[in-house]
Structure 1
């Protein structure tokens, strides 16, 4: 009966989505192009180098080296092996969903257990500095100084979430060898060499696999970006998003938050970029309320990012719900940090900069925007070039196979 109900619901939702596409074809096309532009101009070219690098570092044993070095830090803090440090660092530098991708690869290589992978996925998917400083702070709010506050709240909040998640699934922990608390470079190099030797693939095949696997993952990411861009637009056009926002207005009133931010908040739950952009256009006083909402939706990741993570971990036995609960926790922690740090990291620095007005260089605040603009210009070339390279690799392999 339960499966029958699930089948009916999935069919009904799919039919309803198809009906909205037929009713609003021009709006659907516009939203689809918006998502596609975002993917092939920014997301694909910015994530591809990190994905390929991560695959190579895993194959050459460098991640195992880092695992031995950072074991004395990662195990006490997050209750995960030292190799988790690689997923954490790469997740912060390149942005979502890199942390999930690397966590799955570590699980496939049996460097971490299922419950350790679930803990790792819960706190290694974070926004990139380029997105926080470039798109949100400089692009939407036209204030790079805000990026410092948002970044600290986001990354510190993610670390605190990871510390909280260390207690998740302790009864499912497998017995692990107790590593020495002292950092040993000799053991680290030995582990790296052993890992490389165990991988029997030639270097050319390793590099080819890294490119192909990275492109496959990013194509899936692009599909979800386009899907949720259209879905978010359709929900707004049929009036569902405003209805949900009206329900949240009472919650915002209780929390002393402006009810005008309810609609941007709901939009941000689906797609971070759209939600943050809508918040920036509200011009809310006090400004702290806008910072709180943006911090929450950054920590929550948005359903679009969560769907990408769910798809990446679906082929393994890593469960989704620990990640989802961690996203809610991260959103609340980041919001609380925004309240605590708003004055020392934003207001005080803004007042200091007002006093030092003659030495301010306005062009410095546009550096992140210039980076995004440059990426949008050369991004499509990188994307097309990567697909051409992937096609050549697959073509040569098919010829060698026959």
Structure 2
């Protein structure tokens, strides 16, 4: 059995190495395999499609649609210029981005995937930023929403709002670190473009109508991606070869099968992967490391949604994916460090009293404010010593 498994694995690697030279051949083979799978297991595919549709209509659509409408109205009413004046210095200068990028960053922090990428592309399409600034902004303003990290991951999966806040803080810190380490071809002061203040000639009714139409189109596109990747995930979960591979990897790496399966499926679609990992028998440290990586990396389902906005422009998706992987590793490291500090803090006898939720939330948001101010202080400190 071992010989057959390794023979199959080597054959698969050889075929992929040969086929990847021709993208069309590779896509055709993958789609043909999916068609065969649909014919052989129609119920598995139907269940996956229904599961994806339910996930979209009950979890994604209600929050996403309203945010899209409001955001589109803001853009059409010259809101980017207003956001640039309000948040440009605080958010964009430390990240070496033009002030106009503040709108995409704020939307990304509030709404999460994939709206940050959508409005980053809108900024480039409007001429507010250059292609190099778009490439950087995509990796900075492309994050999981606080609702997903706190609600879905923290409370629903880990049964702990404290872990949710730690994961959210690590996500924000890693995002800021990415802004510092990503190379900028020009100094942000010189690359920043003035945001043109133009009054829309449309009346509010026309603006609202166009915003709704644009939001429906975007939502349907995202819903299609969610459903397709839900089908793919369901096929993998019920596939004999996939289960055989995960069991072999589990025995080789010494990790539980749930961890291996959750990580692989999470790289495809993060929600399902995070759920499998959180329910596994692994220790809490392993869970936090992997879940942090997955919701930061986002998975190929979200990456495909990002590509649906960037395909029109000369944006390198290979560079985007590589940077997302680096971002995920940074977030994992920060998460485990914060969790270690949290463990030590809560285990100290002098802090053994029970914190009520309002006190904890207040401390958390004070920490966020201090964290946002810290880069500006460091930047001023750096300038005072003329460090290049």
Provide the TM-score with structure 1 as the length reference: 0.76
- Whole-Å separation in 2 of the counterparts to 1:53 and 1:349: 41
Q: Does 1:195 find its partner at 2:197?
A: yes
- Whole-Å separation in 1 of the counterparts to 2:54 and 2:110: 22
Q: Does 1:289 find its partner at 2:289?
A: no
Match of 2:132 among 115, 118, 127: 115
The 1:315/1:346 distance shift into structure 2, 3 A limit, reads farther
Provide, for residues 94-146 of structure 1, a one-character-per-residue CA deviation record: whole Å limited to 9, x for no partner: 11001011111111111111111111111211111111111112112222221
- Whole-Å separation in 1 of the counterparts to 2:309 and 2:263: 26
The 1:101/1:178 distance shift into structure 2, 3 A limit, reads closer
Equivalence for 1:93:
110
Equivalence for 2:302:
305
Q: Is the 8 A contact 1:35 1:229 kept in 2?
A: yes
- Whole-Å separation in 1 of the counterparts to 2:242 and 2:224: 22
Q: Is the 8 A contact 1:90 1:98 kept in 2?
A: yes
Provide, for residues 310-332 of structure 1, a one-character-per-residue CA deviation record: whole Å limited to 9, x for no partner: 11211333332332122101110
Displacement after TM superposition at 1:351 (Å): 6.9
Displacement after TM superposition at 1:354 (Å): 9.7
Equivalent positions of 1:34-183 (< 5 A) are: 34-165=51-182, 167-168=183-184, 170=185, 177=190
Ranges in structure 2 where 5+ consecutive residues have no aligned partner: 1-17, 362-388
The 1:347/1:305 distance shift into structure 2, 3 A limit, reads farther
Q: Is the 8 A contact 2:99 2:192 kept in 1?
A: no
The 1:259/1:7 distance shift into structure 2, 3 A limit, reads closer
Q: Is the 8 A contact 1:241 1:266 kept in 2?
A: no
The 1:84/1:284 distance shift into structure 2, 3 A limit, reads same
C-alpha RMSD of the superposition: 3.2
Aligned residues between the structures: 342
- Whole-Å separation in 1 of the counterparts to 2:344 and 2:256: 20
- Whole-Å separation in 2 of the counterparts to 1:56 and 1:141: 37
By relative contact order (CA 8 Å, sep 6+), the higher-ranking structure is 1
- Whole-Å separation in 2 of the counterparts to 1:175 and 1:109: 19
Displacement after TM superposition at 1:85 (Å): 1.5
Provide the TM-score with structure 2 as the length reference: 0.79
- Whole-Å separation in 1 of the counterparts to 2:25 and 2:294: 31
Match of 2:314 among 305, 317, 328: 317
Q: Is the 8 A contact 2:73 2:208 kept in 1?
A: yes
Equivalence for 1:28:
45
